[in-house]
């Protein structure tokens, strides 16, 4: 028993260490991020005035920041890893600093339809405005905004697609119909990347999508029999769709790399990292990987769409660090920390480039 505990402790130290010891990054890259709630650091709350209540934020910030988690998101850990501040949401007009980049990601975003706030295309249009305004301000003498050279050397991060797949299933499309939408979703991502490239962007960091069928929200709401579930209790067709999307995204990144001169495109297999976390949850110190910490209804999933985390009546577990899922859709800070640590090993990146490669 004692040696088992020791083993657990050493496994933990192994994974937690990279975040507590900052890598030496004297000149962190400017970062621009595009995506959905997986990387929204407060954009929805700033943009639409929605409230995200405690216990969101309880573990790290001690207050709600608009992040859907009890603490930091993957992108926050990545920023810490290269010694740069957390990214301010583009839409946050108060207390924001944009000298290290901006975050355009918004909760609920998908790629299609493309002219609806805050579709990927809208986020890109916001970026174009941000860029032209920033260059104007620099020309006028501002030291606090981003100049042309930094836009070129910046790291452009994209993490989107989960909601496109989720919306398809939610609208009662069959598996085959959902799969048919994937090429147009990928096309949107490609258009976004080409636009950034045409603007001079050369460094791209692309996250694939996680195992949609393992989210407690999906598991609690979708009618299913045991035949619909895989060996870890996740909805097979949801995960199959995510895998097909990821194959297409992988190819897109490969094609982009060879066609776009001078582009560095890193494709990161978030799916593999998250699925391992769920399949081997006890190895990482987690119990019950398919149950939300914050929600309503108790086991097996603790999710109720009428009483979600932060709403009156929702209940929250004592130790978020023991669960993978925070609110049924988003991961706990503890899980995000492990995912970010794994990203930093570069084992899950194609090509095998580490995040701090972009320090200069």
Ligand X SMILES: *[C@@H]1O[C@H](CO)[C@@H](O)[C@H](O)[C@H]1NC(C)=O
Write out the residues near ligand X by the rule CB under 6 A.
Answer: 22, 24-26, 83, 171-172, 275-276, 279-280
User: In the complex with ligand X, which residue's Cβ is closer, 69 or 281?
Assistant: 281
Min separation Cβ 290 and ligand X, Å: 14
Nearest 5 degrees, angle CA 227-CA 232-CA 233?
Answer: 50
Min separation Cβ 73 and ligand X, Å: 21
CA distances (Å), origin 125, targets 43, 44, 57, 115, 259: 15, 17, 30, 10, 23
Pick from 48, 66, 47, 46: which is nearest to 57 by CA? 66
One of 281, 330, 341, 349 is an active-site residue; which one? 330
Q: 268 pairs with which residues across the strands?
A: 207, 349
Annotation marks residue 150 as catalytic: no
One of 36, 37, 76, 325 is an active-site residue; which one? 37
Which residues neighbour 144 within 8 Å (Cβ) at sequence distance 6 or greater?
A: 97, 98, 99, 137
Q: How far apart are CA 60 and CA 340, in angstroms?
A: 16
Min separation Cβ 102 and ligand X, Å: 18
SS3 251: helix
User: In the complex with ligand X, which residue's Cβ is closer, 254 or 287?
Assistant: 287
Q: How far apart are CA 122 and CA 238, in angstroms?
A: 27
Q: Which helix (H) or strand (E) holds 65?
A: none
Q: How far apart are CA 25 and CA 345, in angstroms?
A: 16
Annotation marks residue 167 as catalytic: no
User: In the complex with ligand X, which residue's Cβ is closer, 172 or 318?
Assistant: 172
User: In the complex with ligand X, which residue's Cβ is closer, 132 or 282?
Assistant: 282
Min separation Cβ 51 and ligand X, Å: 27
Pick from 342, 247, 360, 346: which is nearest to 19 by CA? 342
The number of CA neighbours under 13 Å toward the Cβ of 207 is 28
User: In the complex with ligand X, which residue's Cβ is closer, 81 or 126?
Assistant: 81
Annotation marks residue 250 as catalytic: no
User: 40 with 66: CB under 8 angstroms?
Assistant: yes
Min separation Cβ 93 and ligand X, Å: 24
Peptide bond into 351 cis (omega under 30): yes
User: In the complex with ligand X, which residue's Cβ is closer, 143 or 172?
Assistant: 172
Min separation Cβ 180 and ligand X, Å: 17
Pick from 44, 151, 146: which is nearest to 97 by CA? 146
Q: How far apart are CA 55 and CA 317, in angstroms?
A: 10
One of 40, 269, 327, 356 is an active-site residue; which one? 327
Residues belonging to the active site: 37, 327, 330
């Amino acid at each position: 028993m004692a040696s088992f505990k020791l083993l657990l402790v050493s496994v933990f130290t192994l994974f937690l260490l990279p975040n507590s010891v900052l890598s030496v990054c004297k000149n962190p890259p400017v970062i621009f991020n595009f995506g959905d709630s997986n990387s929204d650091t407060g954009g929805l709350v700033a943009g639409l005035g929605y409230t995200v209540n405690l216990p969101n934020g309880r573990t790290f910030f001690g207050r709600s920041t608009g992040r859907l988690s009890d603490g930091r998101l993957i992108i926050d850990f990545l920023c810490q890893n290269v010694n740069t501040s957390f990214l301010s949401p583009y839409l946050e007009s108060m207390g924001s600093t944009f000298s290290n980049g901006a975050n355009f990601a918004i909760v609920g975003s998908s790629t299609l339809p493309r002219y609806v706030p805050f579709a990927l295309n809208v986020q890109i249009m916001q970026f174009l405005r941000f860029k032209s305004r920033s260059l104007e301000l620099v020309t006028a003498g501002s030291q606090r905004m981003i100049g042309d050279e930094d836009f070129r050397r910046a790291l452009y991060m994209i993490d989107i697609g989960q909601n496109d797949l989720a919306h398809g299933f939610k609208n009662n499309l069959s598996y085959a119909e959902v799969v048919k939408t994937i090429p147009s979703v990928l096309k949107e991502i490609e258009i976004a990347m080409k636009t950034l490239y045409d603007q001079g962007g050369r460094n791209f960091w692309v996250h694939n999508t996680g195992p949609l069928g393992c989210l407690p929200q999906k598991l609690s709401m979708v009618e299913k029999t045991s035949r619909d579930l895989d060996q870890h209790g996740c909805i097979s067709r949801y995960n199959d769709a995510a895998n097909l999307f990821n194959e297409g995204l992988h190819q897109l990144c490969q094609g982009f790399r060879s066609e776009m001169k001078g582009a560095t495109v890193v494709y990161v297999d978030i799916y593999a990292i998250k699925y391992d976390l769920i399949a081997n949850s006890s190895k990482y110190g987690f119990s019950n990987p398919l149950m939300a910490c914050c929600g309503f209804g108790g086991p097996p999933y603790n999710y109720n769409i009428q009483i979600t985390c932060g709403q009156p009546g929702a209940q929250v577990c004592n130790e978020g660090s023991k669960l993978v899922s925070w609110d049924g859709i988003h991961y706990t800070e503890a899980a995000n920390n492990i995912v970010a640590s794994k990203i930093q090993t570069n084992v899950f990146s194609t090509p095998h480039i580490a995040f701090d490669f972009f320090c200069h």
